[in-house]
Amino acid sequence: MGYYMKRIMMVMAMAAIPALAPTIARAAAGDLLVAPTRLIMAPNSGGEVVVNNTGDRATTYRISLVLRKMTAQGTIESVDEATASQRDAAALDLITYAPRKITLAPQQSQTVRIGVRVPPTMPGGEYRAHLLFRAVPDVADAAAPQPATDGMSISLTPIYGVTIPVIVRVGEPKGSASLSNARLSVQEGQAQLDVDLMRAGDRSVYGTLDLMQADGKTPIATIKGVAAYPEVAQRHIMLPIDRTALARATGPLKVRFVETDPASGGAVSEAPVARP
């Protein structure tokens, strides 16, 4: 392969990263902006994540690679590296990143380089870890405990962070999504749709969920950025619904999941929804 071709391919790989997830994450405690919010990487590729201090004080951010798992309820939980299975922890050895600590002046940004190196013997499939961006609290900034003259006082400093998934796919694992058990409920002035997102195959699925009239084009309610990771064969999704919008809808309803993962080809799955 010629130099130019290699160079072009590298540029393509870099360019593809922000295109996959055109959103950015932002958190306070030294306001933090992270873009993009999701990385899907091929073996032996590179990418980058931009970190920007959107706050008004110089802040140090620590970057780490952590394990998270999804539950059947769709929540994301921490996984202790020490107790994780070899398969679950494999991504930690595939993904490199630098730097791991950044100090940024207000409005300053820096790129964190992400690399993926997959040994040729690695079995095909999807491997995932999560990049955690966290502001290191300023010691002087921590809420000063009150002098305790009449007992004890307590000061708790919260540290907030943002995590984004880094997904490594080896050998184009297949996957598909479908919807099941969609049920609409209205109680105490609240309307909600509960539905199970079913996942098959070896890769995660990711997309947007809409509730709409069976013959309509405009969603009544929408959730974006919903995933089902490979560790769950199904996950629950609760979609809150504006009752006014629901009242305007006539006739039968359906729920639709449009995959936005680039590996999905924009696959759409639908299921009918019974009105209560």
Which residues from 95-114 bind another protein, rule CB under 8 A?
A: none
Q: Does 1 bind another protein (CB under 8 A)?
A: no
Region binding another protein by CB under 8 A among candidate stretches 99-107, 119-127, 224-232, 247-255 = 224-232
Nearer to another protein, 4 or 187 (CB): 4
Binds another protein by CB under 8 A, chosen from 58, 105, 143, 214: 143
Contact 251, 215 (CB under 8 A): yes
Q: Does 92 bind another protein (CB under 8 A)?
A: no
Q: Does 33 bind another protein (CB under 8 A)?
A: yes
Contact 65, 192 (CB under 8 A): no
Binds another protein by CB under 8 A, chosen from 70, 116, 220, 273: 70
Contact 198, 179 (CB under 8 A): yes
Binds another protein by CB under 8 A, chosen from 68, 69, 117, 256: 68
d(CA 168, CA 37): 15
Q: Which helix (H) or strand (E) holds 113?
A: strand 109-116
Binds another protein by CB under 8 A, chosen from 38, 169, 199, 203: 38
Nearer to another protein, 118 or 177 (CB): 177
Least gap, CB of 121 to another protein (angstroms): 30
- Residue 4's SS3 state is helix
Residue type, 95: I
Binds another protein by CB under 8 A, chosen from 42, 69, 106, 160: 160
If you ran DSSP here, which 8-state letter would residue 15 be given? H
What are the two backbone dihedrals, phi and then psi, of residue 261, each rounded to the nearest 5 degrees? -65, 135
Instruction: State both tokens at 238.
Output: 């609760």
Beta bridge partners of 60: 103
Binds another protein by CB under 8 A, chosen from 77, 81, 141, 172: 77
Nearest to 40 by CA among 188, 174, 164: 164
Q: Does 140 bind another protein (CB under 8 A)?
A: no
Q: Does 145 bind another protein (CB under 8 A)?
A: yes
Binds another protein by CB under 8 A, chosen from 61, 97, 127, 206: 206
What are the two backbone dihedrals, phi and then psi, of residue 237, each rounded to the nearest 5 degrees? -130, 135
Region binding another protein by CB under 8 A among candidate stretches 71-79, 95-103, 108-116, 194-202 = 71-79
d(CA 98, CA 149): 47
Least gap, CB of 110 to another protein (angstroms): 17
d(CA 23, CA 36): 6
Nearer to another protein, 41 or 70 (CB): 70
